Structure formats: structure tokens, C-alpha cells
Chain A
Amino acid sequence: MTLLNRLSESNRLSESNRLSESNRPSERQPIVETFISAERPHYRRPLIQTPFFPRSQDFVETDAYIPWSGYSTLDVFSSVEQEYFAIRNSASLFDLTPMVKYRIAGPDAQDYLNRLVTRDISKLKTNRVAYTVWCNDAGHVIDDGTVFRLSETEFRLCTAERQLDWLLESAHGFAVEIAEVTADIAALALQGPTSCAILTALGCHGVELLKPFEIGHFVVENTRLMVSRTGFTGDLGYELWLPPESAVTMWDALMRVGKLRGLRPIGYRALDMARIEAGFILPNVDFVSCAHTIRLQRETTPYELGLDWAVALDKGHFNGRRPLLLEKQNGPRRRLVGLELEGNKAAHGSLVYTGKNDHDHVGEITSALWSPTCKRNIAYAMIAAPHFSSKSPFWVDIYLHRELHWERRMVQAKIVDRVFYLPERRKQTPAPSR
């Protein structure tokens, strides 16, 4: 019996105890006591725990829990810096279970997804993964995510936010079944230079032959393990998909073989640093989903996000195609670009100017980082047309809070490629496995 089963068993026992207690009103437990009890029922827990929680909590030194899609997850386990360098120099393990997952299956599943998302899903082969965005009628981005093709007629769609209403609404006229499977699948991101070596040591023979965005199926520790060469760090890395019952066993096995390969669990903050270096955008940080915007023109299009390559205008009709076709012809109103700045202070939330005057304001920084690996001061900025194609330098004002005193610095910045970090091993096949 796994620990998870044991937990639910003890829950059942305590539930029956409570029922018998409620028959004797005079001895009913006070509510406060019930609330702080470790065995309190799910409706008294605002956030739920992932199946890895029984093990991951052993590594927690900070108690820095943050909510993510209804789950309690970790911002930091012990130290952001050490966790970040695990991603870049050894290997990191990130609990991906809260990522929202949908199963989309049926004879029309491919046509359905092709109408839903901007990329051409008919070109996606079985056991391949594609990053994509999807839009509303106006061509404004609702969310981004990944499409996994599991067979001719079955897909998995991973999204940043819950989308079931939109997915079901879009299904009219298509023979598809759509179900949320977030809680049915436990997921881990194993990322870093030694990640392939760890999987090989775990018994995933041939995992080094997986190409980027390819899916492989393995049996390790008596568990079916689906491995995709995908990730959010821009490094060599894999995402592991397994039944929740096997979560603890798999965690233990990974930690065992990862011990000598520098594997450590990481929280959200280290991942966020890595994804900025890699050029990956984050919903509600680098753009606001059109499902949430309330102000006019705060919606974003794929072209504004620099995702031209992900919009297949020639694949037939899809949601938002007609306005996107117009935008392709006329050019976007603004564009998310990479910036390299002077100095070493990250320009969080700063404004971007073409000159040193207020009326020269042409954009905003959405993500910023002093990149420890690139040793560059990097940022993403949403810059208005036509300035986003300008070769001349911009000015960025950085506010520094120093012992209750604000200092403003105007630093120069220039537009560069948004992919700041791209190690060779990320694309190498066979992947380095020793």
C-alpha cells in the first residue's frame, strides 16, 4: 500500500469516527480543532497537495509555499541561487502536477485542435509535442500551452489556466471528448545537463535518442512512465508523466540515482529565472489573457508576442484567423522584444523611452533579470510600433529602493534576440547522457 493510499485510508477512518461522534452532540469536536487537524476533510483545505508532497516536504527549508492552480506548491525549497544553478549546472526536479491538463480524444480531435489553436496540428506526428497559443474571435491570445499527440485520435493539452468552458464551447460540431485530467496525472520537470544521465541510470534505456519535443514511453520501478523532451528552462531537460499512485516511488528512485548527479528539487522562483534566459513568455506576466483584460486594447495577439512562427495562416480556418490575417498584412501595434541593459540592476516593471523625456515613453518591461549564466542584464519589453524594430538605443528608468530612499537610474538598452541562453546540449541528439 502506498503512502497516498494509507493517507486516504486514515482519512476514511477519521471520517467514520467523526460521523459516530456527531451522533453524540455533547461530545462533538469544536470546529477550530477540526480545522487544524492534519486529517481535516478536503473542503476545509483551500489548497490541495500534489502526490509528491509526502516526499518533497522533506526537502523544504523555507516554508515558502505559494498557490498554483489550486495546489500548494513551493516558491523556494532552500535557496533560489542554488536551485537556479542546479538547473544550469547539474539537474533540477520541479513538481509540475498543478499544470492544467486536458484529454482531447475522438475522430475529430485533430480538426478540433486545428480550429482551436494557431499552429497546424495536422503536421504534428504521434509522440510529438507542440507549443502553441489559442485566440478568441478577435485574434487575441487566451492562453498558451503545449499539445501532446498521443495517438492519431488522442491529444493532451497542457494549459496555464483552466479552459474547460472555452474548450467545450469550441467543440460544437466536432466529434470529440474533452475532460480535465490534471489530478489524474502526476508530472515532474527534470531539467539540467545531467537530466539525461539520471533517466538513463533510472532505466529509461534509449532516452538519449529522444529528439526535442519527442515523447518516449518507458517502464521503470514497475510504473509506466511517459517522458517528453520538453521543458521551461531552455536547457537539456525532460518532463515526466506518471500515475499519481507511483509519485512517491518515482520521486524516491529519482533522488536515489540523482544523488551523485547533483539533482535537487527546485521551486518556482529558480524556474522563473531560467525561463527568462530561455526567452519563454508567461501568461499574466508578459501578456494578459484576453479572458481577463477589462481595459480596451490590453489584449495581446500572437504577432505582438513575437510568435509569428506559431501562426499557421495557411492551414485553413481557426479561431481568430481573419483578424490575424489583417494584422499580418498591416503589422502589429506593438511587439514583445528582448532587451539588453547597462548595469546589473534588473529593470522590474520599468518604462522604456526613446529619449530622456517623459513623452518619449514607448513601452514597458514585462520580465527582467540579471542573468547569472549570461552575465548580462536582460529583460523583455512590450514596445509600440514602429519603435520595436529600431536599431537605436532606448532609455530605461530603473528605480532602486535603498534604505527607504528611492534612486532613479536612466540606463541605455538595446533590442536583442529574446533567446538569451541556448546551450548546445538543448538540441543535441543523442543527448549527453553521462
Chain B
Amino acid sequence: MSQHYQSIIIGAGHNGLVCAAYLARAGNSVLVLDANGWLGGAASTQSFYPGFRLSRVAHLLHALPQNLISELQLHQHGLQFASSNMATYALSTQRLPLRLHNGHIENLPDEYAQDQVRYHAFVKQMNRFAAVIQSLNSKMPSRVIPATWRERLDLLRVGLKLRLLGRRDMREFLRIAGMNVYDLLEERFQSPELKGALALDATLGAEHGPRSPGTVLNYLHRWAGLRNAGSNGIAQVSGGMGALSEAVALSAKHAGTEIRLNTAVKRILVESDRAVGVELENGEQIYANQVVSNADPKTSYLNLLGPRHLDTEFVRRIKHYRCKGLTAKLHLALNSLPTFSQLPVAALSQRLIIAPSLDYVEQAFNPSKYGELPPEPVLEITLPSVADSSLAPCGQHVLSAIVQYVPYELREAPAEIKKQFVGQLLALLERYAPGISAQVIHAELLLPADLEQQFHLHGGHWHHGALTFDQFFFTRPIPGAAQYQSPVAGFYLCGAGNHPGGGVMGIAGQLAARRILANPLA
């Protein structure tokens, strides 16, 4: 028997590191293990072509709570923003791009002038509604039937928050919460570019198009994240997302955490129905009071713990947990700064999106249901090297784009369509940024299957599972295991597959640590 720790955390993704930091600060001896050779999992900065680096999965920070930044002293440990409170430019081939920032729209055509006032009111209302979701997101999920007074009190507080919205707002909240965002935006706005841009926000990283029910919840969830981020708004981390993970890791190490990379865990060791440690791929066994998995729920339960420690119905529920990603990532190394038509150079450091109308987004979604690629994908684009020159050689640039909707299960072999799809994406970009194809030194496309393989995300879903009503709050990931605790004593989950879900948010890790520390056996 080798060393004994109080907690072993599987996966050095941002949630795993956050959980480790909180546990270590509470005095736990903590060991973090990761199969990959880098920190941060999908929150990492990597080179994809000699001299060119970028955030290889998540590329913008918009949900990291300010209290987490201050509690873990992340700024002291090196966290810096290359840009914060970024504006969004909704690109158009016909008109000036709309600029959305702090509840105001610029470049709105006169015919849609009414949208200005409506948008302002809409943002304020969403912000109020998001406060209710935020109050859910900052708490450990209660059980459906609360078992403790604390859980009852938490639920009551959320109910009170809802009631305090006032009659009109509460009625509107209840009306729209389960709705699809397509109908909601059609009710409120006229400008196609505005509606397209907001539809993208409501479906980013989701498994759904704007007409799918539950997309308003997804939108409110994004707003709740923005409330966490506060004045930082949408931000780009200096040095890429990996710099955030390194700051969290430093904070954790400062508190005594040990981190071992290139160390794959083969399975969880269970004795007398209690997790007692892990066995590594190389056969080494490490023991601990509790094992915490930052892997997604399917990997954690079906691969690491294994069905023989679980009941049949539980395994069935985990098998049916929905986590098939619809999001791909495009990376371009460019020999010079591209020019987007009608877009000022200063805007290139901001967030650019291609989602010119509601139907455009819905039509990009439709083929994905049948395993096919969209003819015209939806894109969220950043050029991180504009604000952060450390990412590319002098004068050269990197482009990072989230591409929707690319199904996990493709009808054709990925290798065959990949090259063709990159060409299709460049042709699309060419329409908004003429000449960009000629500037490309290297292009990389990560399909959901690549994300699954390289970042150990089951189904390639970078939120560790769809965020829908049935996989939300007390039913995330599944009913009966939504309090970060598995049916096997001493085995916990701390990843984005748990409440409150994905995005670089860190709350799942924070709440899992709180849950573990509340357990007297810890």
C-alpha cells in the first residue's frame, strides 16, 4: 500500500482543481490525477501549430463567480484578463454589424428602431429572472422531497425570490421558463440579426435549436452565469483559458494539493461498498478516504466505478443521460490580421458571431438530428491574439470559433467529411471576411468525437451533458444522485455533469467540496 490521502480527485479540469483547492484549504490532503499531460482539461491553452496557441475548447469566460476568484485568490495566483466585459458583434453580409453591449445596440437600422428600447427592457428583465436561476445555481441542489431543514429553507428562499419578482414578473417568468427561445424572440423583436444573435446565446453548447422547448431555460442559465461574472462580463483570459486553470492549480498547490499529470486512473477501488482509492493504468493503487471524479457522469459511473457496484435501474438512467455534443471547434493560424467587412479593427478583439437570423440558426440545427452537417453553420468567433500577443508570432494571429451544429454521431466517416467541412467553413468566413482563406497557414477542426477522445468527454459534450429541465438542479445528472454523492459511500462527482452544469463556472467543484466537507466521514 502506497500513500494515503484524504481526497483523490480524478481529472484536473477546472472543476476538479476548484474542488481540490477548496478541500485543501479546509485542511484535506488532496491528490489530483489527470490522464492528460496538461492542466485544466477542456479549460486549457494549447499549441495547435508551431508558434500558435489558443484556448482549445472553452475560449471565453462568462460565468466564473467573483467570490470564487477572491476566495481562491486567483488574481494573486496569476489570473489576468486580456479583455473583459466584451461586446458582441452580430455579423451580417448585408448591413453594418450590430454591436450589443451592456443592454444597448449600435448600428440598428432605422426600420427596427423600436428594438432598442425593447432590448434594454428585455435585458433588465432577463437579469431579474436570472437572479432566480442564480439563487438555484449557487446552492447544493435540494432533494425533490427535502430531507433536511436546510434543504427546505433553500427551496423556500428560491420560492421567495420568485415571489419577490412581483406579480407581473413572476407570471412572465413562469410563462416563459419552459418555452422555446424562438417564440419568445418573435414576440419581442423585429431585427433578424438581433434575434439571431440572441438565439445563438440561448443555444450555445446546447443540444437544441431555437425552436426546441427549454431553450429559454438555457438562455436564463447563461444570464445567471453572467450575473456570477459581474463586472467582468464576457472575458478573455490572458494567456488563454489554460492560464485560469494554472491559477486555480497554483491556489490549490499553495494550500497543499499534489497534482500528478499523465496519470490515468483505471478504476475506483471499492471495499465493503465504500470507495477507498483508485487503481492507475500502470497498476499502482493509491488509497484515500474519498474519491472525487471530475469526469462526466457516464465515464465516472460506467467506466471508473463500474456497473457491478451499482443497481440495474441506476445504470439504466446513467446510460440514458443525454450527453451527445453538437459543438465543434475551428482553429485557424493566420499570417496577418483578417479584415471583416464593415467591422472596425478595434472590434476584432471582441466577440463576433455569425447567426444572422432565427431561421438561419434553426436551419443549421435541423440536419444534426439526422447525423448530417449544417450547410451554413452558426459561429462564435474570437481572435484572441488581437488582445493577447503572446498567442501568436508577431504580426500573425489565431482565430478560435465555436461551430454549431456538428453532431457527435455523423452519418459519414468523420475523416472523409472533415476536410470538406473545413473548406465549407472557410467559404462561409470568406463571405464575412473576404480574403481570409488566403491568410490561413493552418486550420484545425475538432469534431465532438475529437473532443471526446482528447479531452475525455463522453459523447463529446463539453458541458458534460445537456442542460435541460430533466437534467437540471435536483435531477442533474440523474434523480437519486444529484447531490454530488454517488450511491457508493466515499465516491463523489464534482464535474459539470452535476448542478449547476457546464461552462467555465467552477461552481460544481465548489459545491462538491462543500458537500464532501459536510460529510462527517471526511
**A residues engaging B (CB < 8 A)?**
111, 115-116, 136-137, 166, 169-170, 172-174, 316-317, 319-322
Contacts and interface: CB of A to CB of B under 8 A. Distances in A.
B27 interface: no
Given A322-B273, A322-B487, A173 B311 contact: no
Given A317-B273, A321-B273, A322-B273, A172 B311 contact: no
A137 B308 CA distance: 13
B307 A319 contact: no
B515 to A, nearest CB: 19
A170 B315 CA distance: 8
A202 B315 CA distance: 49
26 contacts: A111-B308, A115-B308, A116-B312, A136-B311, A136-B312, A137-B314, A166-B312, A169-B312, A170-B312, A172-B302, A172-B307, A172-B315, A172-B316, A172-B319, A173-B306, A173-B307, A173-B308, A174-B307, A174-B308, A317-B273, A317-B309, A319-B311, A319-B312, A320-B311, A322-B273, A322-B487
Given A173-B307, A317-B273, 12 more contacts: A116-B312, A136-B312, A137-B311, A137-B312, A137-B313, A137-B314, A172-B307, A173-B302, A316-B308, A317-B308, A317-B309, A320-B311
A116 B315 CA distance: 13
A79 to B, nearest CB: 45
Chain B contact surface mostly: helix
Contacts of B302: 172-173
Contacts of B487: 322
Contact of A173 (B273, B313, B315): B315
Nearest to B488: A317
A322 B487 CA distance: 8
A169 B316 contact: yes
Contacts of A111: 308
Contacts of B308: 111, 115, 173-174, 316-317
Nearest to A323: B311
Interface string B289-328: 0000000000000100011111111111001000000000
A137 B479 CA distance: 13
Nearest to B317: A137
Most A C-beta atoms less than 10 A away, residue of B308, B309, B316: B308
Chain A contact surface mostly: loop
B273 A136 contact: no
Given A172-B302, A317-B273, A136 B313 contact: yes
Contacts of A316: 308
Interface string B80-91: 000000000000
A137 B316 CA distance: 11
A137 B315 CA distance: 10
Contacts of A320: 311
Contacts of A136: 311-313
Contacts of B273: 317, 321-322
Nearest to B319: A172
A184 to B, nearest CB: 26
A270 B302 CA distance: 48
A191 to B, nearest CB: 34
A115 B308 CA distance: 6
Nearest to A134: B312
Contacts of A166: 312
A320 to B, nearest CB: 7
Contacts of A319: 311-312
A136 B313 CA distance: 7
Contacts of B270: 317
Nearest to A317: B309
A331 B201 CA distance: 54
Contacts of A116: 312
Nearest to B312: A170
Most B C-beta atoms less than 10 A away, residue of A136, A166, A319: A319
A116 B311 CA distance: 9
Nearest to A137: B311
A11 to B, nearest CB: 40
A320 B310 CA distance: 9
Most B C-beta atoms less than 10 A away, residue of A136, A137, A322: A137
A115 B270 CA distance: 15
Interface in B477-514: 487
Contacts of A317: 270, 273, 308-310
A137 to B, nearest CB: 4
B482 to A, nearest CB: 15
A127 B281 CA distance: 38
Contacts of A173: 302, 306-308, 315
Contacts of A169: 312, 315-316
Nearest to B273: A317
Contacts of A137: 311-314
A170 B316 CA distance: 8
Contacts of B311: 136-137, 319-320
A182 to B, nearest CB: 22
A236 B487 CA distance: 44
A172 B309 CA distance: 12
Nearest to B308: A115
B64 to A, nearest CB: 36
Nearest to A313: B273
Nearest to B310: A317
Give the 9 A-B CB pairs with smallest separation, nearest first: A173-B307, A137-B311, A170-B312, A137-B313, A319-B311, A317-B309, A172-B307, A115-B308, A172-B315
Nearest to B480: A137
Nearest to B487: A322
A107 B487 CA distance: 27
A115 B311 CA distance: 8
Nearest to A173: B307
Nearest to A318: B311
Contacts of B307: 115, 172-174
Contacts of B314: 137
Interface string B354-389: 000000000000000000000000000000000000
